[in-house]
Structure formats: C-alpha cells, structure tokens
Amino acid sequence: MWGKKVCHWGVRLSLGLGLISCACVAAPDDMNKWFRGFKQQASHKQLYQLLWALPKGGDLHHHLSGAGFSEWWYDIATSPQRNGGYEYFTKTRILHCKGYGTNEFGPNPQYLLFRTIQASSYHALSDCEKQEYHPLSALSEEQKQAFLNSIRLDKAHEGRNEFFETHWQRLNELVANPHIGAHILLKNMQAFASEGLQYLETQVNVDRAQDNKGNPLSPEQTLSIYLDMLASPQAKATGVTVRFQYALLRFLPNAESHLAWMYDFVDQHRDIYVGINMVGREDNDKGYPLRFLPALRSLRQRYPAINLAIHAGEVDEPNQHVKDTLLLGAQRIGHGLNTITDPDTLLLMRHGPYLIEINLISNKLLEYTPDLSTHPFPEYLRTDIPVALTTDDRGMWDSTLTDEYFVAVHHFNLSWTELVSLGENSLKYSFLSSEDKRKALEQYRHRVAEFETAILSGSTALPSLPPIRGFMCNHYPTLCEKG
C-alpha cells in the first residue's frame, strides 16, 4: 500500500486546527520515527489529543460498579424515568441516634456521610434516623458537590482505605438497582466510543438486585435489564462490543459456594458471560489464591472450561500469589504488581500465554506505586510479558483509558510499536470466542492502519477534546489550562 518511498521528515503541529502532518507519505516503518519526533516537540495537550484519537482495542479490567463517574450516578439515580422508578435518600448529617438495631448505635455504618438508600429502606428507619437523611434529588449545591466528591479519590490524603472502605458503602443500594447499572453501562459504552475503544469486558453481577420496594429480583430478571440495554439503539450506535465477567469477592466466608453458583450461571449464559474474575482487597489474607484450588478442581470436573481472570499481586509485599493464581488456572492477571519480585514467575510469563492487566492510575492512587517511576510496567512490556492498559475503577479515579495511555507514554517513552501492541494485546488476550477475536483483531489493525495513513499523509484533523477529567487536571495541570 505504501511502497518504499522515503522522505525528509518534518513534524508540523497546527495549534489552532489540531493538524498533524508530514512533508510526504512515508513507509509504515517510519511511524516510529514520526512518533519519536512528535513526542519531542508536542505539548502535553497535543500528546493527549493524539492519544485520544488513537484507535484502541479493549478494556479488559473494568469493574462496572466502580466505572460510573460521580455525575452519572447522581443524574441517573435522581431520574425515575431512567432508574426504574426508584427514589433515593442519602445521609447528610449524623445525629447519633440510639436505641435501635443490635447494639447501641445499630448495625449500619452510622458515621458514614452520603451513604445512600432507597425509599423502601428509608421508610423503615426510626424517626431519628430519618432526620439524618435527605432526598438525593433535593440536595443543595454544596451537598450535591460533597456527594459527588464522596465517591471519587480527589484529595491528596485519600488512598486505598478510603477507596475500599467507603466508596461502595456509600453507593450502597444504588448498586442493587439494575436499571442504574444498565445506564452506567450505556454511559461507559458511549464514553469509550468517543475515545476509540471497540471492546469492553466488564464485571456485572446479577444475584443481589432488588426492586423499588426492596424485594429481591431474580438473576434472570436482572440480567434481562442489562441485555435489553445492550440491544437498545443507543447502545448499538456506540459500536462497542460488550461481554461480561462474573466477579467473586474472594475473602467472604461463603466464597466457595458462591463460586459454584457462578460456574453454573456463567455456563448457562456463555453468549454474554465470558469468564469469572476473583476480586477483592488482597491484603485480606482470607482470600488467598490457594484457598480456591480444591473448589476449582471440583468445578472443572463438572463444567466445560470457563475463563479465569484473577486479581493478583496488588499488594506491597513480595509473595507468590501470582504464581499460585496461575495454578488456579488464570489466563489473565489483574495488576500483577509484585510479579517483579518473583523471578521464576517472571520467566514463566515471558512470551505469554498469560497477560497482565496494567492499571497505572489505580496503582498510583491506591498507593501501591505512589511514584510511577517504580512501576514494573515497562519491565514487563520490554521483556516480552504480554500487557495491556486497563481502567479498573475509572469512575472513582475520575479518569479515562486515554489517561492511562498518556501516563504510559509520558513516563515510559513508549514507541509507536509498543503503543499499538497494547491495543492488540487487549484483543488477543480477551475472552472473546476465536472467531469474534479474529474479527476484532482484523478491525483493530485496519483502524490503526487508516489512522497511520491519515497522520503520515497530513490528511487528518484531530478531534476536539471533551473536558479533561479530574485525575489529569490534578496531576498534569497544563492539560486543563485554557487557551
């Protein structure tokens, strides 16, 4: 297509139009040379603009309940037309109500502001407790902003304890509403489409939903709400392919029995569920990997193979949990941070067949690698351990997949070939069927080739950017400067 034409290189950036061009069309091998020159001259905003427009493959490590931006939660939860007719109340003050529940202060987290409940739960409260809550739809502007801030890590003193111990506890019964979940899914699809993603593999659980009167919904009823959303014209218009994983909270006392239920449910819904993921805070040793080896071996005797993507190595100390996770049968490792401390496992993972799902922003904000210069990502990438960039709980980081790409290029000087390989790996190591994976890879390679052609021929005007989100503004403030 390109022939072997070689030309003198010049990178021209038109700040007003966002144009990027070369003096003439070049051979494909020159893309690395072009990108190297571009990085040397480009501002943060110009680099971000290029990465926003870059075709992207998939997001493989995506907790749906953690992937809703604060304003999405609020807007959907306060819209009965979209949330299924539910009404919500959130805690805005603490009155130290006494004399109810199983002890003096009751069984619920009494000191957690912005813990949100639905109307059926609100009406069951004592008169004193009701005074602690305010209708979500009637918050003052100050209260609304505090609610929005309460479910994202936006302050320097916040870290993993704030995340693990308050965010989902505040969302609380919002997460039990599948209508909200389905709309959060749609918003993710629309947002991802705008930054060039073509595949989303997200974690969706359907066994603990309830209707607006507080009655349990069956898993089948809940799943149908999500499937109806995926079949909607709005979802189809995004062009984003979606598959689900089922998430096992690994440290719960009944985790083995829940895993058995998941195996059966995923086996019955293989058209939409492509795997199971073991999740949860890894410094809670009750969820150690080898706990599940007997259960998984028993389940593999009864069910055809089910894909496993398991969180491992998201801890501060060295251990062999990643190696143990591979023994469980994992095909993908979530985070894999401390794999760098286990040389035998590093050697085992070179050249595949396992992929590490890299979450740079998550690892920074949760203080596993507060200094990104110590992150093992470039060591994995450049010693041929398959990796892909993923977003984890992006709503709570207030970030995008483009943000992950920017952080990677900015801190680790990625080449164009390395950049494109991340998108390719995200599809190659997805849990799509073989035929769907082949088609997805073919589509991705075609999109990248078209993008390269447009850049090198000078025929592209990069799109204008949406407002850049909080993580980038906090850590790379020049991106958010006006002008």
- For residue 73, what pLDDT is reported? 98
Q: In the chain, pLDDT over 70 holds for what percent of residues?
A: 91
Residues 115 and 223 in one domain: no
Q: For residues 216 and 311, give the distance between their C-alpha atoms in angstroms, rounded to a whole number.
A: 29
Over residues 353-363, the mean pLDDT reads 97
Residues 274 and 338 in one domain: yes
Q: For residues 480 and 169, give the distance between their C-alpha atoms in angstroms, rounded to a whole number.
A: 31
Residues 63 and 76 in one domain: no
At 271-316, the pLDDT tens digits run 999 999 999 999 889 999 999 999 999 999 999 999 999 999 999 9
How does DSSP assign 411-442, residue by residue? HH---HHHHHHHHHHHHHTS-S-HHHHHHHHH
- For residue 30, what pLDDT is reported? 82
In a domain, 355, yes or no: yes
pLDDT band at 189; cut points 50, 70, 90:
very high
Is pLDDT at 10 greater than 90 in this prediction?
Answer: no
Is pLDDT at 26 greater than 70 in this prediction?
Answer: no
Residues 263 and 237 in one domain: yes
Is pLDDT at 93 greater than 90 in this prediction?
Answer: yes
In a domain, 20, yes or no: no
Residues 262 and 394 in one domain: yes
- For residue 483, what pLDDT is reported? 60
Residues 147 and 213 in one domain: no
Over residues 4-8, the mean pLDDT reads 31
CB 399 within 8 A of CB 361: yes
- pTM across the whole model: 0.93
In a domain, 42, yes or no: no
- For residue 34, what pLDDT is reported? 95
Residues 207 and 131 in one domain: no
Residues 86 and 63 in one domain: no
In a domain, 415, yes or no: yes
At 235-275, the pLDDT tens digits run 999 999 999 999 999 999 999 999 999 999 999 999 999 99
Neighbours of 126 (CB within 10 A): 14
At 121-146, the pLDDT tens digits run 999 999 999 999 999 999 999 999 99
In a domain, 208, yes or no: yes
pLDDT band at 17; cut points 50, 70, 90:
very low
Is pLDDT at 232 greater than 80 in this prediction?
Answer: yes
Over residues 348-360, the mean pLDDT reads 96
Over residues 24-38, the mean pLDDT reads 77
What is the CA 438 to chain-centroid distance, rounded?
24
In a domain, 456, yes or no: no
- Classified as helix, coil or strand, 378 is helix
CB 215 within 8 A of CB 202: no
Is pLDDT at 430 greater than 50 in this prediction?
Answer: yes
Q: What is the mean pLDDT of the chain?
A: 91
Assign residue 295 the CATH number of its domain: 3.20.20.140
Residues 214 and 90 in one domain: no
Residues 209 and 113 in one domain: no
Domain residues for the domain of 225 are: 58-67+178-446
What does each C-alpha distance from 47 to 39, 44, 451 come to in angstroms? 7, 5, 15
Q: For residues 280 and 81, give the distance between their C-alpha atoms in angstroms, rounded to a whole number.
A: 33
Q: Bigger pLDDT: 23 or 124?
A: 124
The residue whose two tokens read 């890894």 is: 282
Is pLDDT at 340 greater than 80 in this prediction?
Answer: yes
In a domain, 13, yes or no: no
Provide the greatest CA pair distance for the chain.
Answer: 82
- For residue 21, what pLDDT is reported? 42
Over residues 376-399, the mean pLDDT reads 98
Number of domains into which the chain is organized = 2
pLDDT band at 156; cut points 50, 70, 90:
confident
Residues 297 and 415 in one domain: yes
Residues 119 and 258 in one domain: no
- For residue 28, what pLDDT is reported? 55
pLDDT band at 193; cut points 50, 70, 90:
very high
Contacts of 135 (CB under 8 A, 6+ apart): 87, 88, 89
- Classified as helix, coil or strand, 470 is helix
Q: For residues 16 and 147, give the distance between their C-alpha atoms in angstroms, rounded to a whole number.
A: 38
